[in-house]
Amino acid sequence: MVAKTADEAGDGVRPRRVLCLGEALIDVVVREGAEPVEHVGGSPLNVSTGLARLGHAASICAWWGRDDRGHRLAEAAAAAGARVEPGSDGAAATSVAYARVDRDGRASYTFDLTWDVPGIAGLDLVDHLHTGSIAATLEPGGAKVVGVVGRARRTATVSYDPNIRPAIMGTPGQVLARVEDLVGLCDVVKASDEDLAWLYPEEPVEDVLRRWAGLGPALVVCTRGPWGAYALLRGNRDLLVVDPLTVPVADTVGAGDSFMAGLVSGLLEAGLLGGADARRRLRGADWSQVQPALHRAVVTSAITVSRAGSYAPTLAEVRDLQDADPLLS
C-alpha cells in the first residue's frame, strides 16, 4: 500500500493541484567509453513527476513534438502519475539536452531545443505553480511564463528554480533581470551555488540569498552539492545550514529537480504552500515548521543521485530513509 500525503482527498476535500510549467526534453547522457543513453528529462518535468511520485496531484505544461521522443515524455509523465496539460505536444520536434558526465559523475549540458507556452485552462484552480530553468528565459515562451506566474499568484503560491544553463542563457547580463523579476514574484526560490556564482560572480552566496529574500520570497534555498544547502527565511536574520546525506553517487542528473520536488512536497504537506492562506502561513513560519520540508528535499535528492538518470523516489522510499534516521523527520 502506498503511503498517503496530506494532499490526498480521503475525506472528499479536493487535493491541492500543482502545475509545473516549463521544458520537457530528452537527456542524452554521454559517458567516456560508453554508448550514449537517452533518459526522459527537463527540470520542470522532473519536478512534476517527482511530486506525483510523492503523492501529489501534479501536472506538466510543456512543449514537445508528436514524435517518438515526445511520446516517451508523455508516457513518463503518465507512468509517474503526472497529468499532461493539453497543448503540450504542439512543438515541431522534441527538444534534446546532451549531458556529458565526467569521472566524478558531474554533468555538463548542451542543447537542441525550442520553447513556447500553450494555452493553460483552469489556472484559477491551480493551488501551487512551479516554474524555472530554460523555460523562464528562452523566448518566445519566457515572457509568457512571467505572465502566467503573475496571473497564478493571485490565488496560488509559486516556486522557482532558475537552474542556470549557460549554453542556452548566454551571459548573466542577458538573463539577470528576468531571473530577479521571477524571484520577486515567488514564495519559494531554490538555486544551486553554481547558479549563483554564474549570476553574481563577485558576491558571496550568503549575500545573494539575502538580496533575493529582500525581493519578496518567504524562503530562499541554495543547494551546495556534497556540502548540503543553505536556507533563509525572509523574517529571520540567520542562515540555516542543512547537512547532506552521504550516499554512493551514480550521477547528479536530476539531483536539483529532486531536491525541489521534495521541498515543495514537504511545504505542501505542512500547509505552507497551496493558496493564499498557505502563503500567509509561510511568511509567518519559523525553522521548526520549515525544517521537515528541507529534510525531505535532502532525502529525495540523495536517493536520486544514487541512481542513474533523473530518478524520482516514491514517498515510501523517502519515509524508509527517514525512519532509519529520526533526525531527518
* Mean pLDDT for the stretch of residues 310-328: 86
Residue 231 has, within 13 A of its CA and on its CB side, a CA count of 24
In-domain check, residue 39? yes
Q: What is the pLDDT of residue 5?
A: 55
Residue 259, helix vs strand vs coil: helix
In-domain check, residue 47? yes
Q: What is the pLDDT of residue 117?
A: 96
CA angle 272/257/217 to nearest 5° reads 40
In-domain check, residue 121? yes
Burial of 156 (0-12, 13-18, 19+ CB in 10 A): buried
Beta-carbon contacts of 68 under 8 Å, excluding residues fewer than 6 positions away, are: none
Cell triple for residue 177?
A: 533581470
Q: What is the DSSP letter of 203?
A: S
Burial of 154 (0-12, 13-18, 19+ CB in 10 A): exposed
Report the CATH number that the domain containing residue 270 is assigned in CATH: 3.40.1190.20
In-domain check, residue 7? no
Domain that holds residue 93: 17-322
Q: Which of 5-14, 38-47, 144-153 has the highest mean pLDDT?
A: 144-153
Q: What is the pLDDT of residues 92-121, one digit of tens each?
A: 999 998 888 888 777 777 888 899 999 998
Give the count of domains, the chain. 1
In-domain check, residue 4? no
